[in-house]
Structure 1
Amino acid sequence: MKSIRLLALAATLVLGYAVAAAAAPVCNKKIESFDFVVDYSGSMMMHNKDLKMVKMEAAKTALKRVNAAIPALDYYGGLHTISPNGAIIEQSPWNRAAMDSGINQLKSDFTIFGRMTNMGDGLQVYSPAFNAMKKPGAIILVTDGDNNRGVDMVEIARQLYASQRGVTLHIISFADTPTGEATIKAIAALNPSTVVVRGEDLVNSDAAVERFVLAVFCQEESVIVLRGVNFAFDSYALDGKAMGILNEAAELIKANPNKRVVLTGWTDSLGTDAYNAKLSQNRANSVKSYLAKQGIPASRMTAIGKGKSYKYDNKTEEGRYMNRRTELSFD
């Protein structure tokens, strides 16, 4: 079954991926291996003004959130640092708990001044290790883009692509200078498959973590993601934004006249199981009724209430909002 996810970010219609209602998505593997490569330079020990914390501490938080959301599949994983270079976890079968422990070992109290950044040299040193990665592989570079000593980081990235097939550089960016931004943009421009995400977004947003993990770790499928059809607390009423998105969904369904549609409703974790089972069914029914008014035969649609969802963090308002959703899939 291919899923169409109704998530809470923006009222836009975009290509997406199938995601199960779990702490980490279930998907088809896009890569066989990955390596977190962390900028350990002095500038990463400085404060991020938006998060009001040291950039390296923010990087650790972002990496832990990404690690927690990686699908439970048989990837190989590693964790390395640059400037100075060091191996915290060599490439080996990925284990979520072991990677989390490795991320905790990253330090954020190194001296800031007098420690020049030679990211290009560091990437060059790791070239043989990257070449030995199981392919296809992903190098996830965590950096603010500063590279003020040694060989040019962009040139080394270019050489990496020229000498190795099946490896893609992705970037978790903490850039806070024009030079750093320019470096990251130049690296991203080398490969259309590169995913760049702001580190602050990974720290603050479950949805940003999900999008990044799906894009890097999961094989793209021929599905559509509809974002914005969510519900207020204890409600199954559709607002104007949701109706606009469902109008587009109706056109999509009409374009696939031979497929049945399954509508699955979810709630957050507040309330009793019995109450939430009924509420989630009402939410699925609400979407079904609206689509029927748009010309989709009710006989083509099945509405299912699944009750409580734990896909997103129910301890936060954002997480609870994103759990109060309906998923639409073709059967």
Structure 2
Amino acid sequence: MSWLNPKYRHSLHKTGNLTTVSNVSEFFLLGLSDDPEPQPLLCVLFLSMYLVTVLGNLLIIQAVTSDPHLHTPMYFFLSNLSLADIGFISSTVPKMIVNIQTHSRVISCEGCLTQMSIFILCGGIDCTLLTAMAYDRFVAICHPLHYTAIMNAHLCGFLVLVSFLVSLLESQVHNLIVLQLTCFKDVEISNFFCDPSLLLDLACSDTVTNNIVMYFVGTIFGFLPLSGIFFSYYKILSSILRIPSTGGKYKAFSTCGSHLAVVCLFYGTGLGVYLISAISQSPRKDVTASVVYTVVTPMLNPFIYSLRNRDIKRAMWKLLSKIISS
């Protein structure tokens, strides 16, 4: 595509009353605010949130790796989820911080496509891993005697590999849709990262087919994992209700608490972003919703698992004690 060639700059031409931009080599991310006054505060805030997210998730990965008691399928999936969360937030926030520091909002077309690829890839991995973790809980509660045989190392590795490949396919489909665009009405993206739906909104050509394909792909890749989670928890709930004692019911359901909280947070904020962008006409509301989904959600995941899970808390304290004493 000509707009990906770095030798091209913006070329403006009039078509009726519409000004179009062809041969685009870069876009401008409008970010969170046009006001220069809060920029230093925003920089410190998002840098702090980014560091908390990365360090929290790295701590979970290290705790799972270092403690033999956590070498189970559930914690194997959790460590991969933490890795995906690091990639998810790293695809957007560092670029935003650099833009604030350099007082620049420019992102190249290659950078835009790369950011979209990593963002969708890591988001897809999050989505599919949450489904794998729901299946793990389903097997643990509904088929406890066969748990070790079913959730073996080969199956766990296969599920993580499938999660990566499916998410990679989704990200490349979105990229191919964007690559079909030949010109744009504007080069200003009303967010702090490249979103494929926003790029389609900027396109001057008819994007009805592309929009249908993009939303169809998004629905398929979002609906199928969510259906798997609902089915797993339907079976889990049915199994728990058959347990005669209240203590037994609580103990069985408590093993799902952290995962269920993360699922609600991830899909709840994702659905919120979709609804706000569909209903609201205010770009600033869309940006605020995007911050919650892309920054706050991956930051809270380590806290949810560490605060609600005794095994993780114990492993983290052991790890921190080892680090402090060394």
TM-score of the two chains, using structure 2 as the length reference: 0.29
Greater fraction of residues in helix:
2
Greater fraction of residues in strand:
1
TM-score of the two chains, using structure 1 as the length reference: 0.28
